[in-house]
């Protein structure tokens, strides 16, 4: 039972991280940021930190 619960949290975390990365990418594209793909990749790999930095430095 514990393994299934742990697996569910892993999938949930992955999906949330992916959705945040997609949101950052789309927002950067709408703002014509030339580094939008880098923001998305950074968000995917460092999710708690990069989206906060993005929200601070976006134009």
pLDDT in tens, 18-47: 999 999 999 999 999 899 999 999 999 998
What confidence category does residue 59 fall into, taking pLDDT thresholds of 50, 70 and 90?
A: confident
Domain coverage including residue 51: 2-57
Among candidates 29, 30, 24, 57, which has minimal Cα distance to 43?
24
b (16+ CB within 10 A) / e for 6-35? eeeeeeeeeeebeebbeebbebbeeeebee
Number of domains in the chain: 1
Neighbours of 47 (CB within 10 A): 17
Contacts (Cβ under 8 Å, ≥6 apart) of 44: 17, 18, 21
Q: What pLDDT score was predicted for residue 1?
A: 55
């Amino acid at each position: 039972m514990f393994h299934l619960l742990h697996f569910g949290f892993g999938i949930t975390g992955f999906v949330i991280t992916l959705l945040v990365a997609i949101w950052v990418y789309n927002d950067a594209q709408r703002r014509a940021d030339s580094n939008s793909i880098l923001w998305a990749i950074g968000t995917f790999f460092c999710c708690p930190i990069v989206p906060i930095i993005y929200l601070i430095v976006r134009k």
